[in-house]
Structure 1
Amino acid sequence: MYYPKSPFVKCRAVESQLFRRNLPHFEDFLQWLCETPKITTYRVNHLETTTENFANKVRSSSQSFQCTVTTDPNLPEVVFLSKGKKLAKHDPTLKEVIVDKSCGAALLRGAHLYAPGVLAMQSGTKQDEVVNVFADLEGKCKKGTTTEYLSDQKTFIGIGQVKQQRYQIYGDGLDPKGVAVEMVSTVSGVPSIGDLSSTEALLQNLPSIVCVHVLDPKPKEIILDMCSAPGNKTTHIAELMGNQGTIIALDKTESKIQLIKNKVQNYGFDSIKPFAFDSTKSFDETLIRKSALEGPPFGRNTFDRILLDAPCSALGNRPVLADSLTPKMLSSYPVVQKKLFCNAVELLKVGGVLVFSTCTIVEDENEGMVKWALDKFPNLKLVDATPFYGGEGVEGCDLSDEERKKVQRFGIKNRVEDVDSVGFFISKFIKVE
């Protein structure tokens, strides 16, 4: 199904009564969900370079895209890249390249098209040829298709220039890598400068950066990142600590933990200790005086601060081009989040800080979780999730007005007007006696 205001979105979960109940102003939200955020942010590693130096590097890369590069003294490690004015228009005389919905969303955020993301490219497409790029919303385009893909559920993403031909992408035994199509412009207007990430700075959504500032890590503390992959917030914690202290980074699978190990090696953050472990089992009440460095599980009152950036429905990662979530799937996330939360409360020291966050806008996974936690754990105190860049908690939820003002929800209405980011939620607790 397609929506009149949102021709890109196909999302069963959005149609559910559960979702409609949790989000007032449904049609406005739907429009917002399918739009590309107006700002792109890089987080500068001050252990490697200065914000001004990296900002100048971005300016030199984005001059032809008519966009603005700015900084914010309240977030001194962030470089903001505004939406440009160069909008793509479909050209029916050009050949086409097809990508999946996830890749299409990345292109609308300013990425170039890498070879593994190319679903189809028409025969005879030459090196440096200019092409139309479409996203296949229904997922029925066969890999390697040679002809025009006929479907009323494909959407135009933008214009690009071919850098790899078919034989380089689809040849037998090949492991295609690198940029296959360099995007020239997109319908979102976000400048297609690719990813300038390096050890100097990392492409990262603004709410994720704010989230670690809310945690407010200090040098020499012992900190737990319960769901740490791919490690962007983990490395940010290390940077704010000056790489002094201990950060235990957990995630369930070895493949995800390997991503963090790679970052540790690239950045040289020896304060980060990654472990492949299920955080729903990270607390063991029989353990006494076990060092965090020995690895999971851990005993009671082990950590000064805990970041629980929980698994969630991810219905905040704009733009959403299509989605196959069902109401049943949506209802499963709070179950896992509660298990993780119970472990976190036991592992946190008295006086310690727990930050709970998600990259979704679903009330049951956000304000609903905060209400549940306050009712279940009388030794938790909800405090202001500062610095505030997002908006208040959703009106009509189970939290009081005072509690709604303490949490931070990035959505349609934010406290800072110019902040148009992905959807996100942050709450902060202190463990008391």
Structure 2
Amino acid sequence: MMYLEAFPEELQGYYRKLFGEDAEVIMQKLREPVEKYYIRVNTLKISRDKLIEKLREERLKPKRSPYLEEGIYFEREGPNFPDDYNPDFPTVVANKYASESVYQGAMLYAPGVLKADRNIRAGDKVQIRDPKGLLVGIGIAKMNAKEMIKATRGIAVEVTLPKFKLPSLSELKSFEKGYFYPQSLPSMVTAKILEPSEDDLIIDMAAAPGGKTTHLSQLMQNRGEIIAIDKSRNRLKKMEETLKRLGVKNVKLIHMDSRNLPELGLKADKILLDAPCTALWVRPKLWEGRTPKDIMATARYQRHFINAAIKSLRKNGTLVY
């Protein structure tokens, strides 16, 4: 029952009330990465079959999604060691975000290190744990302990044995050329449900980092117009880079709080609203501090976005929330 330590008792009770006997399995599965890691083929630049050929050339094992013609997935590897595995190596403690990344195969970078045993030297074999003590991976230190704590960049630990292993894609040539975008299956389905056409004016109310926006663009063959809104300038800057990488040309970025969308005086054919949420279902969830009160507060917050969306739709327009 180790997975129960990841959730506050109040949240456990909430899940049991909602899901009954299935709650235990759900909480256990939330601790694990997805079994199938999806990417979306950027059909503005390449076909699925050609991308699969290129990925195989890069020594990966891509598989075709049976659900979406632009979907490709990779199967997860692991678990690579049991939950009670307790290796006798010096310990590096990583923050929650870094721990969840290491847990599924990423390197541990120095900014993610919270503390490290003083005797650690570069070249030592070390174990990596999250702040609550969960073992997330084993690797080789690339810095000594003091350097790990002080450094603001660079790999602190080269992870050789993560708990689970998902493919590392951002360094691939096919990624750099904009042939694909890492995106979950449900996220891809969302854009398909909206059924965008080449003549539509579409608004994406919480657009960054750009997965759904760029999917809409390729479904529209880079035609029509998409207004992509986000309140974070930094996220919009990164999104602009993504648009260039993927060759997207029919998107206009706007920096604003989408709750104020009616002030623009626009009337869209279709609106996509992936409202700010609790992210309680993002996997893996090594541990969670939110409670049912946070869920209710977020629901109230989301209503403001829904109201703004309704006011900005044309008659007989479509909102996907």
TM range (shorter): 0.7 to 0.9
- Structure 1 pair 187–8 and aligned structure 2 pair: CA distance change class (3 A): farther
Offset from partner CA, 1:292-337 (integer Å, 9 cap, x none): xxxxx224xx111110111111111012111111232211111122
State the secondary structure of the residue aligned to 2:3: coil
Letter in 1 for 2:306: F
State the secondary structure of the residue aligned to 2:6: coil
CA distance in 2, matches of 1:59, 1:86: 24
CA distance in 2, matches of 1:269, 1:194: 20
CA distance in 1, matches of 2:316, 2:248: 27
Q: Tell me if the contact between 1:91 and 1:132 (Cα under 8 Å) persists in the aligned partners.
A: no
* 1:160-171 alignment runs, 5 A limit: 160-166=139-145, 169-171=148-150
Question: Does the alignment pair 1:99 with 2:94?
Answer: yes
Question: Does the alignment pair 1:307 with 2:303?
Answer: no
Q: TM-score under structure 1 normalisation? A: 0.65
Question: Does the alignment pair 1:277 with 2:256?
Answer: yes
Structure 2 counterpart of 1:9, from 6, 17, 29: 6
- Structure 1 pair 10–74 and aligned structure 2 pair: CA distance change class (3 A): closer
CA distance in 1, matches of 2:169, 2:135: 19
Count of aligned residue pairs for this structure pair:
314
CA distance in 1, matches of 2:45, 2:193: 23
Q: Give, in angstroms, the shift of residue 7 of structure 1.
A: 5.3
Letter in 2 for 1:48: K
Letter in 2 for 1:14: L
- What corresponds to 2:168 in structure 1? 193
Question: Does the alignment pair 1:176 with 2:153?
Answer: yes
Q: Tell me if the contact between 1:112 and 1:193 (Cα under 8 Å) persists in the aligned partners.
A: no
Question: Does the alignment pair 1:115 with 2:80?
Answer: no
Q: Give, in angstroms, the shift of residue 170 of structure 1.
A: 4.0
- What corresponds to 1:338 in structure 2? 303
CA distance in 2, matches of 1:355, 1:110: 34
Offset from partner CA, 1:341-397 (integer Å, 9 cap, x none): 1121221223322111xxxxxxxxxxxxxxxxxxxxxxxxxxxxxxxxxxxxxxxxx
Q: CA RMSD in A?
A: 2.6
- Structure 1 pair 304–95 and aligned structure 2 pair: CA distance change class (3 A): same
- What corresponds to 1:426 in structure 2? none
- What corresponds to 2:125 in structure 1? 130
Letter in 1 for 2:270: R
Q: Give, in angstroms, the shift of residue 249 of structure 1.
A: 0.9
- What corresponds to 1:318 in structure 2? 283
CA distance in 2, matches of 1:113, 1:61: 23
Offset from partner CA, 1:262-314 (integer Å, 9 cap, x none): 32343342311111111112114xxxxxxxxxxxx224xx1111101111111
CA distance in 1, matches of 2:279, 2:182: 18
State the secondary structure of the residue aligned to 1:76: coil
- Structure 1 pair 134–61 and aligned structure 2 pair: CA distance change class (3 A): farther
CA distance in 2, matches of 1:110, 1:339: 38
- What corresponds to 1:84 in structure 2? 77
Which structure is richer in relative contact order (CA contacts within 8 A, separation 6 or more)? 2
Identity %: 27
Q: TM-score under structure 2 normalisation? A: 0.86
Question: Does the alignment pair 1:43 with 2:40?
Answer: yes
State the secondary structure of the residue aligned to 2:33: coil
State the secondary structure of the residue aligned to 1:317: coil
- Structure 1 pair 318–347 and aligned structure 2 pair: CA distance change class (3 A): same
* 1:353-432 alignment runs, 5 A limit: 353-356=318-321
Q: Give, in angstroms, the shift of residue 61 of structure 1.
A: 5.2
- What corresponds to 2:240 in structure 1? 261
Letter in 2 for 1:82: E
- What corresponds to 1:424 in structure 2? none
Letter in 1 for 2:241: N
**Would you tell me which structure has more helix in proportion to its own residues?**
2
Give unpaired runs (5+ residues) of structure 1: 138-153, 285-296, 357-433
CA distance in 1, matches of 2:5, 2:56: 31
- Structure 1 pair 20–160 and aligned structure 2 pair: CA distance change class (3 A): same
CA distance in 2, matches of 1:168, 1:246: 49
Offset from partner CA, 1:118-146 (integer Å, 9 cap, x none): 22333454445432221113xxxxxxxxx
Q: Tell me if the contact between 2:260 and 2:308 (Cα under 8 Å) persists in the aligned partners.
A: yes
Question: Does the alignment pair 1:229 with 2:208?
Answer: yes
Q: Give, in angstroms, the shift of residue 191 of structure 1.
A: 3.6
Q: Tell me if the contact between 1:16 and 1:327 (Cα under 8 Å) persists in the aligned partners.
A: no
CA distance in 2, matches of 1:317, 1:268: 28
Q: Give, in angstroms, the shift of residue 248 of structure 1.
A: 0.6
CA distance in 2, matches of 1:135, 1:303: 45
Q: Tell me if the contact between 2:116 and 2:148 (Cα under 8 Å) persists in the aligned partners.
A: no
CA distance in 1, matches of 2:119, 2:167: 25
Question: Does the alignment pair 1:298 with 2:291?
Answer: no
State the secondary structure of the residue aligned to 1:218: coil
- Structure 1 pair 159–93 and aligned structure 2 pair: CA distance change class (3 A): same
Give unpaired runs (5+ residues) of structure 2: none
CA distance in 2, matches of 1:203, 1:81: 11
